[in-house]
Structure formats: C-alpha cells, structure tokens
C-alpha cells in the first residue's frame, strides 16, 4: 500500500460527517454548542451564540440577517473527539427553511434527528426525514428537554415507529421527566447515569454512575419512579428489536438517546455512541461507477453556494464535499462541467463567522471555495479520471409567487438577475405555459428564499421587484413529459407550468387536489423531486 493510501485510510476511518435535522426550538443550537464543548472546540458552551451576537454588521447580506434577527449563513463545524474528526454540517437553522437545508443532507453521511420530548415529531423534522430516507442515511435520534415536562417515552418511541416507519432501538432510557427527571439508564453498560441540576451546563456535566441493580439507587430515585422504569425496561427488553448496526446503516433502525442538551445531560453518552456506530465516509456513485473515499484521485462536489458574505469582494463561496483523495491547498483540479482546469487557492474552513484557511482535507470534509461565478450546485471537481457525481435534486417547492418587474427599462438586469439566482440554486423558477404571462413564477420551500431573491435583485442588480403570491402549495414533475400530459387532457384545480429546463410541472392548491388527480389519472406519473437534468 502506498503512503498516500495509508494516510487516506487512516483519515477516512477517523471521520464522521453528519447534519442535525429538527424543528425550530427543539434545541439544535444548544446541542451543537454542547457537542463543540465536548469536542473542546470552545470552552464555555454558549460561545457560538455569544460571538454571533457581538458580530458587527459587515455586509449587506448580514444586514438582511440583522433585520430579521436570523442566521442565514450556515456553517460547517469541525471538531475532534476521542481521536475522531467530526464534521457537523449545520443546516440553516430557522423558522425560514430553504432548499439549502435539503441540499446539506446530500453532503452528510449520517443524520441526527433532534426531537423535543414535549412535542414529539414536528413538521420540519418530518420533511427532512423524508430526504434522509430517500438517501437511506443512518439516523440517530436524540430526544431532548427531559428536564422539562415531557410526553411518555414509550409513546414517543411508538410515534417514531408508526409515523416514520423507523424502528427505534433504545440506547438509553430516562428515569422520570421534568422536575422528577433523575437520569438515564445506559443499556450497553447496564448503568444508571444520575442527573444533577447544574447551572446552564457551561461545562461538561458531572455524572454519577451506578450499576442499575445497586441498592444505593433508591437513595437517589423514588421507589415509584424506579419501579415504573423497571417495568418499562422489561417491555423494551422483551418487545424491542435486537441491535443491528447494518440496519442502522441502511436507515431502518434508529438508536434512541434521551437527554437534556441545555444541562449537558446525555450529550456525552450520545456522542460516544454516535462515533462508535456512525457511518464513515463511504463510496459515492458517479458517472464512472462507485468511487471509494480512499481512491487516490481527489474528487468533490458542490452542494451549496453562498453569496456576498464579504461586501468588499461580493464573493461567493462554493461549499464542496470531498468524496475521495486528498485536498491540498493550491492544487489544480478539473471543473468537470466546463472541462476547465482551476487552481484551488483560497480554500476555507468556516467556523461560525470566522474563516480559517485550509491546507488539507479528506473524504467526509467540507471546504469552502471562492467562487467567481464558476460553480453551480451539483458540479464535480476532480483530478485524474473525469467523473460526475449524481446531481442534487430539486425538491417540490411549497410556496409560489409571480415575480414582477415594475420598471420595463430595467428588463435586462431583471432577466439576468433572475437567471443567475436560479442557476445558483437560490430559488426555483417556472413559467406559465400561457405565452402572454411572461413573469417568472418563483418556487421556494421557505419564505426566506423570496426575501433573499428580492433583496439580492435590488442590491446586486439594482432592480426592484414585486411579488404576487399564488395559492398553490404542491408541485409535481410529470415524469413522462408533455406527451403524457396531453394524453390526460384538461386537469381541474391544477396549474400547468414549465420549469427552467422546459419540463412540465403541475401546481396544486393542496395535497388533497393532488391525491384527486392521482386517483383520476393513475397512468400519469408524478414526482415530488425533479429528475436530475
């Protein structure tokens, strides 16, 4: 084995790359901070947020963030824990969901589903879960906020199994919740980790660990709670599934952890188990077949573009996920779509708002490349044998609006801006099939995408725009194209439009209308995800 090969094997074995999927307020920011705390990346948990709020307004982009008090710029965080190099791809974390949230999952090897113990599964979690399922990602579940009144743990497990079709395997189980939260039982070691309320968990939590059958336990846990716990444990032991790591890796079983991110409780148990069982960077499908992460030829694909973070340069950053080989600063690679050779001279690692130059990266890592308009979502860069990784699909938008240009004299800029923003993946653009209606129809998964488009049209292209909402909430691509559509004739309660590639798309007011059309026209094959062009 060559020296490089050895180096690659070692790097890949130690890498774990994941994203957190959750609904706003479930505690993603808190959990992220606590993971970083254990990873030693910050010493006082809370620093991520503190730093973010101290930050000055340095760009137009951030001005928009500031106005709305949200964080658009998502980050890639890397930290070390017990010899592993962990990449946490932070999905844009706010009420405003965007397509980037979906795309980030294309770059992750594992997902952590964070659930609020009082609320159970919520809408955004379900949507993101669907994307994980499509990719068969291993899913780890962290049920959070046990220090607050919560739903019955068994009921939460049932919900995950019934509604997601994901088999829960309990790794640790809570004893009591809310004011009576006493700790968790770790099934692997058969020990109880006792919970101590301490500040806001600025440091690693102190834990007291006792064997589950230690009589001393009753000094800490009331008899009734302990008995309830033993009964439920018996249910899990007799009715629960066997542990099966392969099934986890196929996305069929989800290991379940209970805890309280705010007080750090259960975070370390989770992290250790996650590192033990998570998938390492694996093979990726490409136009030349499967590419191994330890293949010596460097390759990567673009999964996200971010514009205008630096007002002086109006630059764009292309986030690429390394799939194979070793990235080295200044290396020359082929940009496969254009066939051009480019030098990767300004690669960056982003930590919160700070950028750090990056010299070396391996499969599983994410790097930010300065992008002078060269990259589009889904592009591949590589050395050696040319290959193209499977693109990143477009997901069904859920909100739609006509975008109007009130100043005919700015027609050119308007058209250019819309085209560029569409190419960059900031928004999906569709057009009416009625020639008289020339205004583009914007399609997005979150309101924020509309605002970003209007803001950038104004700031970068100097054009005003107006939105006129359309009362649709579901889009479906017609799999067999225009002919298939002609065959079924007129469809009621449906708007036929074409996407940026001229393919037919149907817009429905709601899922009920969609089901209606599906049952009336069983031959019409409709897809929620656009076929990759």
**Cα distance between residue 325 and residue 8, in whole Å:** 7
Which listed range, 52-60, 140-148, 171-179, 340-348, lies at the site for ligand GDP (CB under 6 A)? 140-148
Contact between 114 and 26 (Cβ < 8 Å):
yes
Binding-site entries: 22-29, 90-94, 144-147
Q: How far is CA 237 from CA 224, 232, 240, 242, in A?
A: 20, 9, 6, 9
From CA 205, how far away is CA 265, in angstroms rounded?
A: 6
Closest distance to ligand GDP from the beta carbon of 268 (Å): 14
Nearest distance from C-beta of residue 23 to ligand GDP, angstroms: 7
Does 144 participate in binding ligand GDP (rule CB under 6 A)? yes
One character per residue 7-26, x = contact with ligand GDP (rule: CB under 6 A): ---------------x-xxx
Residue keyed to tokens 């690669």? 347
Q: How far apart are the first and last CA of the chain?
A: 39
Is 371 a residue that touches ligand GDP (CB under 6 A)? no
Shortest gap between Cβ of 265 and ligand GDP (angstroms)? Answer: 8
Answer yes or no whether residue 51 interacts with ligand GDP by CB under 6 A: no
The b-or-e profile of 206-237 (16+ CB within 10 A means b, else e) is ebeebebeeeebeebbeeebbeebeebbeebe
Phi–psi pair at 372, nearest 5 degrees:
-80, 60
365 near ligand GDP (CB under 6 A): no
Which of 125, 428 has the CB closer to ligand GDP?
A: 125
State in angstroms the smallest separation of the CB of 345 from ligand GDP. 35
Between 12 and 207, name the residue whose CB sits nearer to ligand GDP: 207
The answer to whether 262 contacts ligand GDP (rule: CB under 6 A) is yes
Q: Which is nearer to ligand GDP, 91 or 422 (CB)?
A: 91
- β-sheet with 110-116: strand ranges across: 76-81, 84-89, 15-21, 110-116, 139-144, 253-258, 167-170
CB of 71 or CB of 428, closer to ligand GDP:
71
Distance CA 350, CA 89 (A): 11
Question: Which among 142-150, 271-279, 409-417, 516-524 is the span making contact with ligand GDP, rule CB under 6 A?
Answer: 142-150
| Gap between the Cα atoms of 187 and 381, Å rounded | 45
Contact status: 352 vs ligand GDP (CB under 6 A) = no
Residue 29 binding ligand GDP, by CB under 6 A: yes
Nearer to ligand GDP, 50 or 357 (CB): 50
Q: Are 457 and 410 in contact (CB under 8 A)?
A: no
Length of the chain: 533
Contacts for 184-191 with beta carbons within 8 Å, 24 or more apart?
184/146, 184/258, 184/259, 184/265, 184/266, 184/269, 185/212, 185/229, 185/233, 186/269, 187/236, 188/273
Q: Which segments are annotated as binding site for GTP?
A: 22-29, 90-94, 144-147
Comparing CB distances to ligand GDP, the nearer of 19 and 361 is 19
The phi, psi pair for 324, rounded to 5°, reads -155, 165
Q: Is 49 exposed, middle or buried (0-12, 13-18, 19+ CB in 10 A)?
A: middle
Site string for ligand GDP, 87-126 (x = CB under 6 A): ------x---------------------------------
CB of 201 to ligand GDP, least distance (A): 8
Q: Does the footprint of ligand GDP cover residue 260 (CB under 6 A)?
A: yes
CB-nearer residue toward ligand GDP: 261 or 530: 261
Binding to ligand GDP by residue 28, rule CB under 6 A? yes
Choice from 8, 17, 18, 30 touching ligand GDP (CB under 6 A) = 30
Tokens representing 91? 């999905």
Q: Where are the alpha helices (DSSP H) in 410-463?
A: 411-424, 447-461
Q: How near is the Cβ of 260 to ligand GDP at its closest, in Å?
A: 4
Instruction: State in angstroms the smallest separation of the CB of 531 from ligand GDP.
Output: 33
Q: How far is the CB of 49 from ligand GDP (least distance, A)?
A: 8
Question: Which of these ranges, 6-14, 144-152, 191-199, 203-211, lies near ligand GDP under the rule CB under 6 A?
Answer: 144-152
Q: Which of 21, 175, 261, 318 binds ligand GDP (CB under 6 A)?
A: 261
By the 10 Å C-beta count (0-12 exposed, 13-18 middle, 19+ buried), 165 is classed as exposed
- Closest CB to ligand GDP among residues 28, 284: 28
SS3 assignment, position 63: helix
SS (H, E, C) 290-301: EECCCCCCCEEE
For CA atoms 500, 511, 436, 485, the dihedral sign is: positive
Tell me how far, at minimum, the Cβ of 31 lies from ligand GDP, in Å. Answer: 7
Minimum CB separation of residue 361 from ligand GDP in Å reads 27
Candidate ranges 53-61, 260-268, 403-411, 435-443; the one touching ligand GDP (CB under 6 A): 260-268
The count of residues interacting with ligand GDP (CB under 6 A) is 16
Q: Given the rule CB under 6 A, which residues bind ligand GDP?
A: 22, 24-30, 93, 144-145, 147-148, 260-262
């Amino acid at each position: 084995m060559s020296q490089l090969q050895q180096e690659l094997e070692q790097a890949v074995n130690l890498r774990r790359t994941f994203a957190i999927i959750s609904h706003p307020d479930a505690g993603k920011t808190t959990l992220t901070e606590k993971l970083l705390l254990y990873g030693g990346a910050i010493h006082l948990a809370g620093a991520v947020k503190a730093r973010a709020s101290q930050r000055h307004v340095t760009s137009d982009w951030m001005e928009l963030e500031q106005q709305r008090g949200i964080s658009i710029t998502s980050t890639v965080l890397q930290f070390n824990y017990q010899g592993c190099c962990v990449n946490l791809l932070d999905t844009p974390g706010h009420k405003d969901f965007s397509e980037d949230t979906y795309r980030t999952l294309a770059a992750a090897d594992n997902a952590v589903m964070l659930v609020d113990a009082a609320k159970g599964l919520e809408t955004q979690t379900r949507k993101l879960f669907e994307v994980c399922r499509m990719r068969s990602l291993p899913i780890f579940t962290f049920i959070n906020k046990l220090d607050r009144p919560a739903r019955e743990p068994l009921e939460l497990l049932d919900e995950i199994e019934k509604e997601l079709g994901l088999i829960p395997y309990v790794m640790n189980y809570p004893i009591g919740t809310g004011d009576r939260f006493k700790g968790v039982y770790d099934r692997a070691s058969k020990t109880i980790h006792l919970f101590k309320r301490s500040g806001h968990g600025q440091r690693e939590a102190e834990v007291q660990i006792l064997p589950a059958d230690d009589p001393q336990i009753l000094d800490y846990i009331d008899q009734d709670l302990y008995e309830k716990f033993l009964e439920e444990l018996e249910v899990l032991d007799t009715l629960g599934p066997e542990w099966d790591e392969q099934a986890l890796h196929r996305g069929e079983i989800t290991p379940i952890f209970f805890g309280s991110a705010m007080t750090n409780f259960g975070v370390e148990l989770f992290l250790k188990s996650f590192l033990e069982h998570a998938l390492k960077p694996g093979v990726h499908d490409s136009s030349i077949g499967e590419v191994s992460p330890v293949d010596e030829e460097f390759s990567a694909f673009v999964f996200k573009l971010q514009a205008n973070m630096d007002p002086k340069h109006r630059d764009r950053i292309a986030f690429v996920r390394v799939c194979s080989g070793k990235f080295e600063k200044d290396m020359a690679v082929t940009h496969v779509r254009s066939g051009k050779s480019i030098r990767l001279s300004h690669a960056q690692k982003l930590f919160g708002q700070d950028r750090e130059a990056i010299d070396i990266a391996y499969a599983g890592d994410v790097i930010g490349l300065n992008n002078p308009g060269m990259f589009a979502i889904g592009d591949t860069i590589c050395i050696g044998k040319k290959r193209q990784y499977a693109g990143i699909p477009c997901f069904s938008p859920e909100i739609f609006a006509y975008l109007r240009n009130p100043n005919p004299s700015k027609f050119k800029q308007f058209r250019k801006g819309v085209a560029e923003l569409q190419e960059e993946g900031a928004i999906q653009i569709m057009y009416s099939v009625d020639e008289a209606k020339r205004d583009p129809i914007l399609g997005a998964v979150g309101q924020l995408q509309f605002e970003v488009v209007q803001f950038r049209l104004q700031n970068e292209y100097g054009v005003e725009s107006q939105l006129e909402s359309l009362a649709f909430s579901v889009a479906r691509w017609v799999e067999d194209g225009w002919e298939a559509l002609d065959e079924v004739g007129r469809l009621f309660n449906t708007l036929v439009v074409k996407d940026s590639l001229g393919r037919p798309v149907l817009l429905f007011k709601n899922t009920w209308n969609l089901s209606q059309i599906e049952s009336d026209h069983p031959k019409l094959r409709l897809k929620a995800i656009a076929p990759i062009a």
